[in-house]
């Protein structure tokens, strides 16, 4: 069965205006391909799901096909240049391209052919520019621009840097609809003195990191993007891998948009797909596993331990940059 060619779509000039047509195009183009089996490695089917007992309500899902059918991740470090000889998103089948966005920055929306959730898509800024997986200021801005326009506040965006579970060294972010509330939406945040809109996560939380909070995009977005750029430059200079996650605090009304940055003291190298990886989703409370034994045995304590091991002592490593790191 054939599918329609990707649509070229120009976003509204203001990111503060909702764009129902954009959401409809993303959902219909994804569903059309998924239902026809075009481009996808498997038909998305969450076999089982549960909430782990404890304070943080980790959502655990079993999706065995993502483990067995997905493309094997590439192995590369934070400073690895783009390598055109390896798989990249200029090589995808044209049927995998859902949309080409022409404003404010050229951006491709592709199906994620090994989806974790419904409408799981890849956001690839300037796809033909062949950028490595290091997040550019344009890439970070695109995440805000998309979420501010989508009327359904269940949409989230995530990013894994090289050395932090990224699987392809070609700049991309993940757009997903997650129906459940995650602990990070309501997580206690402590303002970082001297940096507008920047907070850090309270010490008792399972993940360590920072969060920019946007309440009034019209007046705050430029400053937030500038602050985020500086933070990511600091992490890159120190060879600290990182994961990012954008989410609304309220899944119905929006209220405020949070952009989380989770640094890692040491880089990891993907050598093979495995059942449980500590990447942006897991850090935020959403755990997708590919083995039934992991689904059965994972507890909140084991998940928190895995996240701590993946990140290391982040706050000590950045103490000279953000010295106020104890709860008030």
Task: Find out whether 60 and 298 touch, Cβ atoms under 8 Å.
Answer: yes
Q: What does pTM read for this prediction?
A: 0.94
Q: Is residue 319 part of a domain?
A: no
Is pLDDT of 212 > 50? yes
Asked, for residue 171, whether it belongs to a domain, the answer is yes
pLDDT of amino acid 277: 85
Identify any residues that bridge with 257 across adjacent strands, giving them in sequence order.
214, 248
DSSP letter, residue 239? T
Residue 68 lies in a domain: yes
* Percentage with pLDDT > 70 across the chain: 94
Across 35-61, average pLDDT: 95
| Domain around 219 | 18-311
- Reported as type and span, the H/E element at residue 49 is strand 48-51
Q: Let me know if residue 318 belongs to a domain.
A: no
pLDDT at 273 over 60: no
In a domain, 211, yes or no: yes
- 287 forms bridges with which residues in the sheet? 60
Residue 7 in any domain: the answer is: no
**Is position 22 within any domain?**
yes
How confident is the model over 163-174, as pLDDT tens digits?
999 999 999 999
pLDDT, mean of residues 277-287: 95
Taking the C-alpha atoms of residue 184 and residue 284, their distance in angstroms, rounded to an integer, is 6
- pLDDT of amino acid 323: 65
Which of 68, 21, 135 has its CA nearest to residue 272? 68
Neighbours of 292 (CB within 10 A): 13
Rounded CA separation 204/67 (Å): 31
- Is residue 158, in this structure, part of any structural domain at all? yes
Q: How many structural domains does the chain have?
A: 1
Residue 271: predicted pLDDT: 45
Q: Give the domain CATH number at 72.
A: 3.30.428.70
């Amino acid at each position: 069965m054939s599918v329609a060619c990707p649509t070229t779509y120009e976003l509204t000039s203001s990111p503060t205006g909702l764009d129902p047509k954009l959401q409809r195009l993303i959902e219909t183009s994804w569903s059309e391909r998924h239902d026809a089996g075009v481009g996808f490695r498997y038909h998305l089917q969450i076999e089982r799901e549960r909430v782990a007992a404890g304070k943080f309500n980790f959502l655990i899902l079993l999706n065995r096909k993502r483990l067995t059918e997905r493309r094997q991740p590439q192995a590369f470090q934070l400073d690895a240049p783009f390598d055109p000889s390896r798989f990249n998103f200029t090589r995808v089948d044209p049927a995998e391209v859902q949309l080409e966005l022409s404003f404010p920055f050229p951006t491709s929306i592709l199906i994620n052919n090994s989806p974790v959730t419904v409408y799981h898509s890849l956001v690839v800024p300037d796809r033909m520019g062949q950028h490595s997986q290091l997040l550019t200021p344009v890439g970070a801005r695109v995440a805000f621009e998309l979420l501010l326009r989508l009327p359904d506040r269940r949409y989230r965006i995530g990013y894994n840097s090289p050395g932090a579970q990224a699987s392809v060294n070609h700049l991309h972010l993940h757009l997903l609809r997650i129906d459940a509330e995650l602990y990070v939406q309501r997580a206690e945040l402590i303002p970082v003195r001297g940096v507008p809109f920047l907070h850090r996560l309270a010490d008792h939380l399972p993940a360590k990191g920072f969060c920019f909070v946007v309440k009034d995009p019209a007046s705050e977005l430029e400053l937030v993007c500038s602050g985020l750029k500086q933070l990511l430059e600091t992490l890159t200079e120190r060879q600290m891998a990182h994961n990012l996650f954008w989410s609304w605090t309220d899944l119905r009304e929006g209220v405020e948009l949070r952009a989380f940055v989770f640094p890692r003291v040491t880089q990891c190298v993907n050598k093979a797909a495995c059942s449980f990886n500590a990447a942006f989703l897991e850090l935020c409370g959403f755990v997708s596993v590919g083995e039934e034994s992991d689904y059965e045995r994972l507890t909140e304590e084991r998940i928190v331990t895995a996240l701590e091991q993946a990140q290391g002592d982040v706050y000590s490593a950045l103490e000279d940059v953000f010295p106020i790191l104890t709860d008030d």
